[in-house]
Structure 1
């Protein structure tokens, strides 16, 4: 039986085939995306493929540069041909939760400015209903105690993300509040509610953002579309 890392590699390497010479490509963040980047790095060396990468985190930018990729900011490109990113959960409608790595704001910015998007996941991330994975919400630190209280009063079981005993910080310097929801019965309503809360920068619900997901399974890569 293949390990989870092997399944991630299957998905990442399959998705690398979507990148064509001369493209501008949004590069996601996370452990599965690392395999995508490795595959693209191999294509640069072996096949001479050239593309411009638009990273969704500083971590991805650094990793891509080390593999020989041309990296530019979202503000320095006119358009993005395709963005390939991971996801923490994907439901049958190809809606998802993202932000386990704390990069959902940059990820959503890059995705919404792309002509098309594709997600890459191992089969454990394919779920019937979103919500078991805690929903990340990036918030301003100022006033976050009041916002956390409001989220708790709504029954969303918020928890401020920590790293090494301190607040986890996004690339924008904000903090993350993870909502332990168990299941999300009405994702569109929840997305609207969170987006309208003062102090919320961005949430990790990605709805109608992509029509394609590449899943690494025990039987190889499976591409699902809608």
Structure 2
């Protein structure tokens, strides 16, 4: 994103903010609750239009293209929303299959292949057969988080956005989330942006970290001889 500004009413959420994540890299944006991390994530992904500035994904302006248009240009977005973002009247398997069905013509996959990919993604995050056929409301918070991961993974994304991926999880789900984050961190073909209020995630992943405060990003710096501090980025 470059020189992006955004407001919620009179509240400045992003104030002429810029952030560049190189291809194949991962970076983490931390901040307090309601600091605007989710907004930054959604603006970066092209889901929310900024008041000024622009965002590009793989050279394409995300804020001027719908996700379906970006997909046709080779930009496959994986999005893990903070609250899951599942359709309440569809079971887990159908929720994961839905974006695959939507993009089936671009992907060139059949109905059978759609179900195979959806099942493989759900297996990857450890959902049981019973859970696959359950509605989201009947699943625990941790299982819904796994479901959100599966839906994103199924699209084989090359741009992955995680919103508070490790908050409020049971031990097993936390381990799965950590493994998936590390897997995509190490994939040179996938660019990742993670938003979290847990500073420890930056250290665990060993990637560049930034703090969002009052609409501005500050680079997290860890000098050898002094406690962690912040340095203005944009």
How high is the TM-score relative to the length of structure 1? 0.30
Q: Which has the higher contact order (CA 8 A, sep 6+)?
A: 2
How high is the TM-score relative to the length of structure 2? 0.30
